Amino acid sequence: MAAVDLVFRGRRIERDRALVMAIVNRTPDSFYDHGATFEEEIARNAIRQAVHDGADLVDIGGVPASPGPEVTVDEELARVLPTIEWARETYPDLVISVDTFRHEVAERVCEAGADLLNDTWGGADPKILDVAARYGAGYVCAHVDGLAPRTDPVRPRYADVVASVVEQTTRLAELAVERGVPREGILLDPAIDFAKHTLHSLEILRNVRAMVDTGWPVLMAMSNKNVVGETLDVPLDGRLTGTLAATALAAADGAAMFRAHQVPETLQTVRMVASILGIRPPARAERYLD
């Protein structure tokens, strides 16, 4: 199973394993870090650390996914633009992803040098595709089953949640190509826990191969999420082991990228999986070879 390179605004990421996307939240109320990287200098330090740890790209977001106080377009831009501009200048070759669902924000961040638009709300603002096309940026096609941005579902139901994920994300991917988004920069995201309860998310995790078999690269964004907490009955700070177990299985099934809070641990996991699969040589193999 060969790993396929991805290209974002001309930046090709050659890979022999799944890629790791480091999370940098410019929000005071993110579910996991509760604003740990909200301050500008701390966010910059987090990017420095992510690069040092070997992250393949960073994902910068200014609006939490969960319901809460309104964040206007201007406020979102005030949060993320200085960080993006600094990251672009400091790390010219770094692939920068921005977590946004608004075309107005997408326009400004692409002007500032963003390479990938991580739209976690499934094209709720259809104009975002035109922005991605205009700049040649990558685009993440997420499955939220029509859920409005920053809202929680009420008793989500599916006849077949995996079929819904495959159908809706691939349809959005094809629409993105029709609108001019470069095919080599498009990923599918099943959006674990978005518009889904834990049993839905577990069903998707058992069937990652169904998404991989579409031929589109798959992004898994499940780091420390509620599916891990509920499945193992562990608190927020106890979800790493479960996250890495799910990461290993999804990587073995062919997922192309993982959005992660803990970069070194995730990177070791996907490297080990790739080596077991035979698509990545070990860093060293010395014992008993001479």
CA–CA separation, 286 and 284 (whole Å): 6
- Residue 278 contacts residue 289 (beta carbons within 8 Å): no
- pLDDT band of 32, cuts 50, 70, 90: confident
Tokens representing residue 242 in the block? 């479960």
Three-state DSSP class for 165? helix
How many whole angstroms from its chain centre is CA 251? 14
How many alpha carbons fall within 13 Å on the CB side of residue 67? 5
- Residue 237 exposed, middle or buried by CB count within 10 Å (0-12, 13-18, 19+): exposed
Q: What is the mean pLDDT of the chain?
A: 96
- pLDDT band of 15, cuts 50, 70, 90: confident
Report the pLDDT value the prediction gives residue 1, as an integer from 0 to 100: 45
What is the phi/psi pair of residue 86, to 5°? Answer: -65, -45
Q: What is the pLDDT of residues 158-200, one digit of tens each?
A: 999 999 999 999 999 999 999 999 999 999 999 999 999 999 9
Q: What is the pLDDT of residues 226-243, one digit of tens each?
A: 999 999 999 999 999 999
Q: What is the pLDDT of residues 82-115, one digit of tens each?
A: 999 999 999 999 999 999 999 999 999 999 999 9
pLDDT at 3 over 90: no
Report the pLDDT value the prediction gives residue 139, as an integer from 0 to 100: 98
pTM, two decimals, is 0.96
CA–CA separation, 149 and 91 (whole Å): 31
Domain boundaries, the chain: 6-277
Tokens representing residue 100 in the block? 């946004």
- Residue 216 contacts residue 186 (beta carbons within 8 Å): yes
- pLDDT band of 2, cuts 50, 70, 90: low
Q: What is the pLDDT of residues 113-147, one digit of tens each?
A: 999 999 999 999 999 999 999 999 999 999 999 99
CA quadruple 30, 212, 152, 124: dihedral positive or negative? Answer: positive
How many alpha carbons fall within 13 Å on the CB side of residue 272? 12
pLDDT at 31 over 90: no
∠ CA 25-31-36, rounded to 5°: 45
Tokens representing residue 134 in the block? 């205009």
Looking at the DSSP assignment, which residues form a beta bridge with residue 61? 25, 99
pLDDT at 34 over 80: no
∠ CA 219-173-153, rounded to 5°: 65
Residues with Cβ within 8 Å of 279's Cβ and at least 6 positions away in sequence, in order, are 1, 2, 3, 16, 17
Looking at the DSSP assignment, which residues form a beta bridge with residue 118? 99, 140
Closest CA to 182 of 115, 106, 92: 115
Q: What is the mean pLDDT of residues 58-67?
A: 95
- pLDDT band of 290, cuts 50, 70, 90: confident
Instruction: Using only the alpha carbons of the chain, give its radius of gyration.
Output: 18
Sheet holding 19-25, edge to edge: 186-189, 138-142, 116-119, 95-99, 57-61, 19-25, 257-260, 219-220
**CATH (one of 3.30.43.10, 3.40.50.300, 3.20.20.140, 3.20.20.20) for 6-277:** 3.20.20.20
CA–CA separation, 243 and 260 (whole Å): 9
Residues with Cβ within 8 Å of 133's Cβ and at least 6 positions away in sequence, in order, are 176, 179, 180, 181
Report the pLDDT value the prediction gives residue 35, as an integer from 0 to 100: 78
